[in-house]
Chain A
């Protein structure tokens, strides 16, 4: 498998920053809604890549972390409206996980607009369009997240710190240990 690169995507036409958004849509509501948007020939920004899950309850927070770590500028979760889950209550589980995850992402310095949960029912093709367009605009305004790039900076910082610690340890007399 090829290694992900850290290059941010730019539009070939304008050269401007094009955000890359990974979406996790539940099979029964939001994925179907996106199909309906297609069937209705609604037009929305091409920056989104949808990964189908059976239920938003399947959303492992690690999927979100992995997407950001591999270079996503935004992550969108789509599930059935509260009370409408095909599996009774998977969307409530997703809501809880997303709520906790949002706090964590904030601590990591990932802006709130980069991570979004939306309830979109099977008939709401137009909502898919509006949510995607709105999110693309907001993330475009934030600019690239470039977490892989930041990882490198952090690694460098850690290396310097380590070198500093190693250096100072040499100056500590052996009997202290």
Chain B
């Protein structure tokens, strides 16, 4: 059958037209066999551009459409719709990428134009072989899994739960709250982090639509959008969650009379017992036993005074085992957060060597009323600092550590400067490279802190060393080149605060593999599109919220968490999602029943019909990778949209010179 192909070459403003001679490409396309019409147009994706396609299909009786424009990952959907609205099957369309793969990456106009012609030729060769296909739909289960119980996960879970959706919130620490629970005040408004966070935490705990599993890990994820099967391991806390009321009597009664072990919540600045509550507002308010230091769990020889104190409640259970839960959800929101940069990686800042050097997060705990010092800012030697240096960009904007800006450090360093000044009256020196305050009321906050008499020194700190090498607890000298005064400054201080940057979790790669999504080189989870799909991932039904996607502050995190919840709800309320109909199928009469394909399929979608002695593909399970198609020795398996003849024609097309 003779086809009537329409070819459209997009200028994309000047994006394509400046490097590719779009008119020449269209003129060339018009000479190709089967092409009855070829046009170039300023913006094919605009309404008038799409109208061109629709009108031409009708007036020129086109039966195949080729659009040479941007990446199909961006606008294939748009043009398929236009094709369908013109009255022909939407899959009678082929897109040619002459922007991302051509105009934007080449510098020779003649070569780029030649390449565009060849790519168009390939599509013109291919498109006659396209078959009419039906869209594939899958149902979306209404349950949502939220991974990570920081402010991002909390906000996403609450948004969904308030909309009536069933949510599983899984957190690996014994309590939700994340990093935000550790902060004292938040910039730029200086509202108390606990005051705005803890009410949300308790709502999560009591919300009828939220199942909260703390101290738990997601260990397996199967399935696909709409129907994920997730396995969660609930780690033993040796205290039965339903029976514990959080009264702390067991902690008081522990055979260890004083806290002896580093308290994780206070970053080791305080001590805790083997049985402990992470912090007073921990949610759930349930004690945890650390099996590595509990005498009973380690040696089996303890007076078990905690059990005695718990008495009739019988909440303590030394025999607790990990519990495996299997759940089914339709969508997943990842809100796994970040870790702070390990300041020991920059040895010349002296963290871990000089007692007077702290990370910013440690100082958050020191100025916090529920912190290890009750909110009193004192050094490890018990004295109040009279002078404090705050070093910006530790582990950020540095070729040796992380090239990116962590976005929050300038602002939290200013906040800490304000808090330190307020609590101690010390002289405070902020050493910065550039003061980055791009946010609502951020620059005003900088002016306010400057006005409070905090010294701002523009210079990257080159060294931190002891004033008197014999006195390890003595004053420290912070050395930097002041780039405004053009001189080396050596400032003696009692305390150095390192404004550490944000990094992806060490296990970010394992997590993203489990959820089948991508990471940037730095380990941040990759969004589908940086501007137009910032909370989506390349895997349908999996969304991102908060710092797992990249460093951001609390307002941005909450906004993103809301967006992720909205995206999940959009799927749930639609009830179903359209999938690419690129599934594989067996041509019965061609199949020899050799079973080569069966082990190829990672989704066990292929089985053998023993009666007919042939392979059968379950379309509902097929994800359209095409591995079986390539493996079939008799060519009996075909894949919609990527069939052999379509690919072979594309190969012929790019290589044939007309």
Which of A's residues lie within 8 Å of B, judged by CB? Answer: 1-5, 7, 11-13, 20, 22, 27-29, 31-32, 34-35, 37-39, 41-44, 46, 49-55, 57-63, 66-67, 70-72, 83-84, 86-90, 93, 97, 121-124, 129
Contact = CB atoms under 8 A, between A and B. Distances in A.
B642 A53 contact: yes
Contact of B630 (A46, A51, A97, A122): A97
B658 A37 contact: no
Nearest to A88: B602
A71 B652 CA distance: 9
Interface in B194-209: none
6 contacts: A4-B657, A39-B104, A70-B651, A86-B516, A87-B602, A90-B602
A49 B110 CA distance: 15
B594 interface: no
A59 to B, nearest CB: 6
A55 to B, nearest CB: 4
B392 interface: no
B272 interface: no
A39 B626 CA distance: 28
B180 interface: no
Contacts of B513: 83-84
B624 to A, nearest CB: 6
A51 B650 contact: yes
A12 B115 contact: no
A122 B655 contact: no
B283 interface: no
A35 B654 contact: no
Interface string B621-658: 00111110111000000010010100111111011111
B626 A37 contact: no
Contact of B655 (A52, A54, A55, A71): A71
Nearest to B15: A38
B105 A37 contact: yes
Contact of B518 (A4, A122, A129): A122
B104 A123 contact: no
Contact of B119 (A49, A58, A72): A49
A37 B106 CA distance: 11
Interface stretch (B95-103, B397-405, B458-466, B553-561): B95-103
B625 A55 contact: yes
A13 B629 CA distance: 42
B204 to A, nearest CB: 33
A61 to B, nearest CB: 8
B112 to A, nearest CB: 6
A26 B101 CA distance: 14
Contacts of B538: 28, 32, 86, 122
B625 A42 contact: no
B539 interface: yes
A43 B107 contact: yes
B234 interface: no
Interface string B504-532: 00000000010010111100001000000
A89 B115 CA distance: 32
**10 closest Cβ contacts across the A-B interface?**
A38-B100, A58-B626, A57-B627, A87-B625, A88-B602, A55-B625, A38-B104, A70-B655, A46-B111, A49-B654
A46 B119 contact: no
Contacts of B125: 1
A50 B106 contact: no
Given A66-B651, A86-B516, 12 more contacts: A1-B649, A1-B652, A5-B657, A22-B654, A34-B100, A38-B101, A43-B107, A54-B582, A63-B647, A90-B626, A90-B627, A123-B526
A58 B106 contact: no
Contacts of B600: 57, 93
Contacts of B104: 38-39, 41
Contacts of A84: 513, 518
Contacts of B108: 13, 46
B97 to A, nearest CB: 7
B122 A38 contact: no
Contact of B651 (A27, A52, A63): A63
Nearest to B512: A84
B364 interface: no
Nearest to B103: A38
Contacts of B629: 58, 60
A84 to B, nearest CB: 7
B655 A2 contact: no
Contacts of A66: 648, 651-652
Contacts of A57: 600, 625-627, 630
